[in-house]
């Protein structure tokens, strides 16, 4: 379980600080697909990036399976990150490496040697995302949807317990979006991996999330099972995101 406790993040800036997150608390059960929705600037990326400590929280705690990860550093932090995969809006693939090399990259040792069987595992994962024939292609030769599927295969290479998705489908066309969402749902079902899905699209939430929290101005204003939120939205932003209200109401 991921337990986010009183998380606050302030970015230092020239004109004082930006309060990106204010006292956010969330519980994400094991095996869940948990959506975090909000408009641009709501603090979604900041929240997800605090979970694997790409951003250092200003205050608060993130407890994963009983360990407060905000105190981790060095090898312990790296081991935690290894188990916590991340998928980016911009894919984050290495442009000078083939699809297979990208997938195998996390498996390599400190000096870059691939352990026994890593190549086979990489090929198997590429097969799982439907890209067995693209093993030797470079990212530039792949479509957006294919790149994101390579990124998903790479995320799976470390047998993660959690996958963090930051707007994973926002750069994709509707058909690729569908394909990637189906793939994520299937992976969740087959492996029981916990997923934290950041999005600005209610459609994404409706399609794959079991639970959802609505973030407004760095605060959680509403949370619950997806079905409940869709049937009975309370906050005006939730209603507006669902197209049931007016943004200015």
Partner 1 sequence: MLSGWGDFVAEYSGLLTTGMLDTLAMLFVSTGIAYVFGTVLGVVLYLTSPIGLKPHRVFNGILGWIINMARSIPFIILLVALMPTTRALVHTTTGVVGVTPPLVASATPFVARMIEQSLAEVPRDTLESVVSFGASMPRIVLGALLPEALPSIVRGISITLISVLGYTAIAGAVGAGGLGDIAIRYGYYRYEDEVMVVTVVLLVVLVQIIQTVCDLIAKRIDHR
Ligand X SMILES: Nc1ncnc2c1ncn2[C@@H]1O[C@H](COP(=O)(O)OP(=O)(O)O)[C@@H](O)[C@H]1O
Of positions 86, 153, 168, 208, contacts partner 1 by CB under 8 A: 86
Q: How far is CA 192 from CA 29, 67, 121, 186, 188, in A?
A: 11, 20, 19, 10, 5
Q: Where are the alpha helices (DSSP H) in the chain?
A: 44-51, 74-83, 99-104, 118-128, 144-157, 174-191, 202-208, 226-231, 236-241
* Cα-based angle 13, 90, 187 (whole degrees, multiple of 5): 120
- Sign of the alpha-carbon torsion through 108, 114, 115, 121: positive
Q: Binding mask 154-183 vs Mg ion (x if CB under 5 A, - otherwise)?
A: ------------------------------
Span near Mg ion by CB under 5 A; candidates 38-46, 128-136, 171-179, 199-207: 38-46
83 in Cβ contact with 52 (< 8 Å): no
Pair of tokens at residue 106: 């996390």
36 in Cβ contact with 196 (< 8 Å): yes
Position 146 contacts Mg ion (CB under 5 A): no
Give the up-direction half-sphere exposure of residue 165: CA atoms within 13 A in the CB hemisphere. 33
Helix (H) or strand (E) holding 193: none
Position 11 contacts ligand X (CB under 6 A): yes
Span near Mg ion by CB under 5 A; candidates 42-50, 65-73, 107-115, 130-138: 42-50
Q: Binding mask 128-167 vs partner 1 (x if CB under 8 A, - otherwise)?
A: ----------xxx----------x--xx--x-----x---
Of positions 21, 33, 80, 194, contacts partner 1 by CB under 8 A: 80
Position 122 contacts ligand X (CB under 6 A): no
| Closest CB 120 distance from ligand X, rounded Å | 37
The residue among 45 and 98 lying less far from ligand X, judged by its C-beta, is: 45
Report how far residue 43's alpha carbon sits from residue 216's, in angstroms, rounded to the nearest whole number: 8
Position 233 contacts ligand X (CB under 6 A): no
Burial of 189 (0-12, 13-18, 19+ CB in 10 A): exposed
The residue among 45 and 177 lying less far from Mg ion, judged by its C-beta, is: 45
The residue among 34 and 91 lying less far from partner 1, judged by its C-beta, is: 91
Report how far residue 11's alpha carbon sits from residue 30's, in angstroms, rounded to the nearest whole number: 30
16-55 positions binding ligand X, by CB under 6 A: 18, 20, 38, 40-46
Residue 48 contacts which entry, Mg ion, ligand X, partner 1, none (Cβ below 5-8 A, type-dependent): none
Binding site for ligand X (CB under 6 A): 11, 13, 18, 20, 38, 40-46
Binding site for partner 1 (CB under 8 A): 52, 54, 77-82, 84-86, 88-97, 105-106, 108, 110-112, 138-140, 151, 154-155, 158, 164
């Amino acid at each position: 379980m991921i337990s986010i406790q009183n998380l606050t993040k302030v970015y230092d800036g020239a004109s004082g600080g930006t309060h990106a997150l204010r006292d956010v608390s969330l519980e994400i059960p094991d095996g869940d697909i948990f959506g975090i929705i909000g408009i641009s600037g709501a603090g979604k990326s900041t929240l997800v990036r605090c979970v694997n400590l790409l951003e250092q929280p200003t205050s608060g705690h993130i407890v994963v399976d009983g360990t407060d990860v905000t105190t981790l550093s060095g090898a312990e932090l790296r081991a935690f990150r290894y188990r916590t995969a991340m998928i980016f809006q911009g894919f984050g693939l290495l442009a000078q490496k083939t699809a297979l090399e990208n997938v195998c990259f996390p498996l390599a040792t400190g000096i870059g040697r691939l352990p026994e069987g890593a190549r086979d595992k990489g090929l198997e994962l590429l097969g799982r995302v439907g890209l067995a024939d693209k093993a030797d292609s470079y990212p530039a030769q792949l479509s957006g949807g294919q790149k994101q599927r390579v990124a998903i295969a790479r995320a799976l290479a470390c047998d993660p317990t959690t996958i963090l998705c930051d707007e994973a489908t926002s750069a994709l066309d509707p058909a690729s979006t569908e394909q990637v969402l189906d793939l994520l749902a299937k992976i969740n079902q087959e492996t029981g991996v916990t997923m934290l899905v950041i999005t600005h699209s209610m459609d994404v939430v409706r399609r794959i999330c079991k639970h959802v929290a609505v973030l407004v101005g760095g605060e959680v204003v509403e949370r619950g099972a997806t079905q409940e939120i869709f049937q009975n939205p309370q906050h005006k932003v939730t209603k507006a995101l669902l197209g049931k209200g007016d943004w200015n109401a």
